[in-house]
């Protein structure tokens, strides 16, 4: 049923630290690698080695420049995937019941054998989290690696989403955002985790941690070191040599 559950037992989701992300795109690649070979249809590419390559990705990293009213601009790398919204507009528009939000953990999934590829859910998502696979004609989206997190056949440290497992900077965190004792909950409390486009009323589960304010760098005189080529303060052997040669 594409009606949304009134509440979910858990709210599994990601917390993404915009202060730490270095924009390496490793999460993009590991997501594609894991999800093209597991749950559902592969994530196809079109014209991958040609002039206009294009393909299905469940996670993408944008890079923004933020210019404060005063002081230097700052670069912020911004990974974006499904936010597993509590009030997910993509689920209710689905005419076939292929899209659903799980009552047990809040993950938003697509049952691909029911998907007719109408694309309405992708229209309804304000975040661009859903992409229609051009080869398969079904909607693809982040599954929160549902086939890893409950998979007891893989080592325990791998039982987290692929993007979280791979992030070399530790900018991605996974956990239950409904549990006040969880690490992700505390992280959101401590760092002022925020929602994306709250005005859309989607109540995203995933949170973003804002970049910490940068230190004010000291005034740097770019030409200073080049202009101040003085030997006055030289001491020791070189000082003696300098003074002696100066007298000649």
Q: Which residues bind other proteins (CB under 8 A)?
A: 1-4, 18, 25, 28, 52-57, 60-69, 73-76, 78, 80, 89, 91-98, 114-120, 122-128, 131-132, 134, 136-138, 194-201, 208, 210-211
Residue 182 contacts by C-beta under 8 Å, 6 or more apart in sequence?
175, 176
Two tokens, residue 181: 């004792």
Q: How far is the CB of 204 from other proteins (least distance, A)?
A: 10
Q: Which is nearer to other proteins, 86 or 148 (CB)?
A: 86
Q: How far is the CB of 115 from other proteins (least distance, A)?
A: 7
Q: Which is nearer to other proteins, 210 or 239 (CB)?
A: 210
Q: How many whole angstroms separate alpha carbon 75 and alpha carbon 100?
A: 36
Q: What is the CA radius of gyration of the chain?
A: 25
Two tokens, residue 17: 């630290």
Q: Which is nearer to other proteins, 199 or 246 (CB)?
A: 199
- Helix (H) or strand (E) holding 190, with range, is helix 183-191
Nearest residue to 15 via CA among 229, 190, 241, 139: 190
Rounded to 10 degrees, what is the CA torsion of 150, 152, 157, 160?
-20
Q: How far is the CB of 183 from other proteins (least distance, A)?
A: 21
Q: How far is the CB of 90 from other proteins (least distance, A)?
A: 10
Two tokens, residue 211: 């970049």
Give backbone dihedrals phi and psi of 99, rounded to 5 degrees, phi first: -90, 135
Q: How far is the CB of 161 from other proteins (least distance, A)?
A: 18
Q: How far is the CB of 228 from other proteins (least distance, A)?
A: 35
Q: How far is the CB of 23 from other proteins (least distance, A)?
A: 8
Q: Which is nearer to other proteins, 132 or 146 (CB)?
A: 132
Query: Exposure string (b/e) for 159-184, b if CB count within 10 Å is 16 or more?
Result: bbbbbbbbbeeebbbbbbbbeeebeb
Q: Which is nearer to other proteins, 169 or 196 (CB)?
A: 196
Q: Which is nearer to other proteins, 93 or 169 (CB)?
A: 93
Q: Which is nearer to other proteins, 105 or 131 (CB)?
A: 131
Pairing of strands 207-209, 12-17: parallel
Q: How many whole angstroms separate alpha carbon 79 and alpha carbon 57?
A: 12
């Amino acid at each position: 049923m594409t009606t949304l559950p009134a509440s979910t037992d858990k709210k599994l989701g990601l917390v993404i630290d915009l202060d730490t992300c270095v924009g390496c795109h490793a999460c993009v690649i590991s997501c594609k690698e894991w999800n093209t070979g597991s749950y559902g249809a592969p994530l196809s590419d079109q014209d991958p080695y040609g002039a206009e390559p294009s393909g299905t990705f469940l996670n993408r990293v944008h890079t923004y420049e933020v210019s404060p009213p005063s002081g230097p601009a700052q670069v912020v790398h911004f990974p974006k995937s499904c936010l597993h919204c509590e009030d997910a507009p993509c689920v209710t528009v689905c005419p076939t019941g292929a899209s659903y939000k799980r009552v047990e953990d809040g993950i938003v999934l697509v049952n691909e054998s029911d998907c007719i590829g109408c694309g309405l859910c992708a229209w309804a998502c304000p975040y661009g989290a859903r992409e229609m696979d051009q080869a398969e004609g079904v909607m693809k989206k982040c599954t929160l690696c549902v086939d890893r997190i409950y998979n007891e056949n893989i080592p325990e440290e791998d039982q987290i989403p692929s993007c979280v497992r791979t992030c070399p900077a530790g900018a991605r965190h996974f956990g239950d955002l409904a549990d006040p004792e969880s690490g992700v909950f505390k992280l959101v409390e401590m760092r002022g985790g925020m929602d994306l486009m709250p005005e859309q009323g989607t109540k995203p589960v995933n949170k973003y941690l804002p970049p910490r304010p940068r230190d004010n760098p000291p005034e740097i005189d770019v030409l200073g070191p080049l202009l101040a080529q003085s030997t006055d303060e030289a001491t020791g052997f070189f000082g003696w040599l300098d003074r002696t040669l100066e007298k000649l």
